[in-house]
Amino acid sequence: MTAVQIITSPTDSALDKLCEALASRADALDLSGEWPAEQLRLLGEYGVYEWFLAAESGGQDWSDVDVIRGYLRLAAACLTTTFILTQRTGACQRIAAGASHRTLELLPPLLRGERFATVGISHLTTSRRHLAKPVLAATETFDGYLLDGFSPWVTGGAHAQTIVTGATLEDGRQILVAAPTDLPGVSADKPLPLVGLSSSHTGAVRFDKVQLSREWLIAGPIENVMTLGIGGSTGGLQTSTLAVGLAVTAIAYLEREAAQREDLRAPAEALRRDVDQTAADLLALADGACHCTPQDLRFRANSLAMRATQAALTAAKGTGYVAGHPAGRWCREALFFLVWSCPQPVASASLCNLAGIQ
């Protein structure tokens, strides 16, 4: 059996092989709704989980630009797998940023792909914060915290051994923890049937009076714990990157069709110019050398994903509207970017654009 080459840069030929393997499974994954266990195993086998952490944490410490390049390739191959990867990576980065020896012990098996961790922090960063009672409350105890409530949007919660989540104390301060899922009182709801990316198995995870020892604490207690930037922020460039990656694969399909149909050539060429420029600006922004803002780029990436996927469906005609054709899947996946970590200014700009308001 041939040993798999660990990917150490976005130019490694092994990344081509990994992307081919992911792309070949993407349509079947969408139809089945099953958890992509094999795809996630491949990411571990090729060393992808090492890209995002510093060398002292066992990672390869890729630059922001290289991470963007890697995400672009993976998202073009299989958006569902790559989205799950972002949630896993967010958990690992936050675990690595914690000070507890117990939480740091989680990293080696996570980097090897032997365990799965995910995040459940949306309730700390959305309008749920205004509720009189937090959806996930914490009460300080002698040796830790008692968690009671739920985290509403957790990807792969039923498959995780660790969930990085946050809870709010009575005085308004918040904590960030790495909660083991085998503790009494932790349970995952049945995954929600999503318009797209249902194989991400996203849904609520409940904490029914869960006693959590202090050794699992990552940050806090402090007001607005997410503002500490522990392990990175939600949304941002990675979300835009995945949208551009989806556009890349839809435009590639349109170009293949355009080779046989003259009427598709001008639209394909225009979209190619657009995606190339957007990707270039994305890389420049990651490198600190672009005048545009992350929100500007997010709006452009969202728009590009919507237009590129709908162009691919138009080119595919009726065949593309049959379940199992990738063009239909791409259109559904593009809708995800209208709701995933979408800042309000971007959402407002998108609504105005859809309404024809300049």
User: How do residues 45-73 score in pLDDT, each as one tens digit?
Assistant: 999 999 999 999 999 999 999 999 999 99
What per-residue confidence (pLDDT) applies to 133? Answer: 82
Locate all alpha helices (DSSP H) within the chain, ordered by sequence.
Answer: 13-32, 37-45, 64-77, 79-97, 101-104, 107-111, 122-125, 236-258, 265-286, 294-316, 326-335, 344-354
| Cα(51)–Cα(37) distance, integer angstroms | 20
User: How do residues 301-322 score in pLDDT, each as one tens digit?
Assistant: 999 999 999 999 999 999 999 9
What per-residue confidence (pLDDT) applies to 228? Answer: 75
């971007």: which residue's tokens?
346
- Give the residue numbers spanning the domain of 87: 13-111
**What single-letter DSSP state applies at residue 31?**
H
| Cα(16)–Cα(22) distance, integer angstroms | 10
pLDDT at 233 over 60: no
pLDDT at 142 over 50: yes
| Cα(295)–Cα(197) distance, integer angstroms | 24
Q: Do 293 and 217 have their domain in common?
A: no
For 200, list phi and psi in degrees, rounded to 5.
Answer: -75, -10
One-letter identity of residue 230? I
User: What's the distance, Cα to Cα, between the start and end of the chain in Å?
Assistant: 59
CATH of the domain at 35: 1.10.540.10
* 5 domain-assigned: no
How much helix, strand and coil, in percent to the nearest 5, is found in the chain? 55, 15, 30
Q: Do 254 and 338 have their domain in common?
A: yes
Most confident of the following: 169-173, 227-231, 244-248, 294-298:
244-248
Q: Do 46 and 128 have their domain in common?
A: no
Q: Looking at 60-161, which runs of residues are DSSP E strands? A: 117-120, 136-140, 144-155
* 114: Cα separation from own chain's centroid: 20
For 162, list phi and psi in degrees, rounded to 5.
Answer: -140, 135
Q: Are strands 186-188 and 202-213 parallel, antiparallel or unpaired?
A: antiparallel
CATH of the domain at 333: 1.20.140.10
Number of domains within the chain: 3
Q: Mean pLDDT lowest for which of 6-15, 94-103, 169-178, 275-284?
A: 94-103
Q: Mean pLDDT lowest for which of 73-77, 118-122, 126-130, 261-265?
A: 126-130
CA distances to 59, 104, 128, 251, 325 from 236, in Å: 22, 26, 20, 23, 30
pLDDT at 129 over 50: no
What per-residue confidence (pLDDT) applies to 1? Answer: 46
In the listed set 225, 250, 280, which residue is the last one of a domain according to the structure? 225
